[in-house]
Amino acid sequence: MKIKKLVITLLVILSLEMFGFDSKLDYIVTRSENYKISEQKMKKESLEVKKGFEADNKKYKNKVRAIIKNFIENAISKQSFSGDEIFGAQAMKQMMVSMLEKSIEHQKNKIEEIRFFNDEEAQVTQKVKVFGSKESDSKFENEYEVFKLVLKKLQYKDADDMMAQMKKMEKKEAFSKIMDAISRVIEDELKKEENYVEMTITVDMHKVNNTWHVKNLDEQIKMVEAMLSNLENSM
């Protein structure tokens, strides 16, 4: 798998993970004009909405994480490897899974509002900062730019210096160094505020058997699965 395709695939994965729900307390509670409910009861019920939101958040993240890991496994297995390249495939898989976990550490989500429409319907609105600005996208879509960042991270003067040093190493060591450098380059970019775009996402909630749930959660998970399946088939 070429570096460009690897990096773009990682960016798709990171953006999916960034859409996980949030559960912070600093939000406002509102209601539609037609819904009659006391402020005290509404605020108390918002805690139940939050509780259901958190439960489905955990379910969503666990399911999507499993889907992504399966996608990584299948994407790597589709490549042709032999000899020392098998080690390279394993290193690549481990690096991608590691980046998936690191992306979770850099999530930037914040609940803004919980709005009630009636006793059984509500909405949760949140601000989500998603990795993938125009600047970061253009940087990672340019193989030369990625290569320059990797060279800098490995502290080589230029491509010739890198090739000369790599020839002195076993293939496993050389590949591990490159994968580690790519991982550190992406992690550096994850930490930069300018590499994120902010958007507002509204999630519909409904009450089923006295418990609040995200509407159509299973369908949302299936959409992620279908999108990654299409991406896998195009590789």
pTM of the entire predicted model: 0.70
DSSP character for 35?
-
Confidence (pLDDT) at 78: 67
pLDDT per position as a tens digit, 108-159: 778 899 999 999 999 999 888 777 766 666 666 666 777 788 888 889 888 8
- Mean predicted confidence (pLDDT) in 181-194: 83
Confidence label for 210 from pLDDT (cuts 50, 70 and 90): very high
| Burial (0-12, 13-18, 19+ Cβ within 10 Å), 11 | buried
Q: Is the torsion defined by CA of 40, 46, 48, 51 positive or negative?
A: negative
Residue 227 has pLDDT above 90, yes or no: no
Residue 196, helix vs strand vs coil: strand
Q: Using a pLDDT cut of 70, give the percent of the chain over it.
A: 71
Mean pLDDT of all residues belonging to the chain: 79
Confidence (pLDDT) at 162: 84
Of the listed ranges 18-32, 44-58, 170-184, the one predicted with least confidence: 18-32
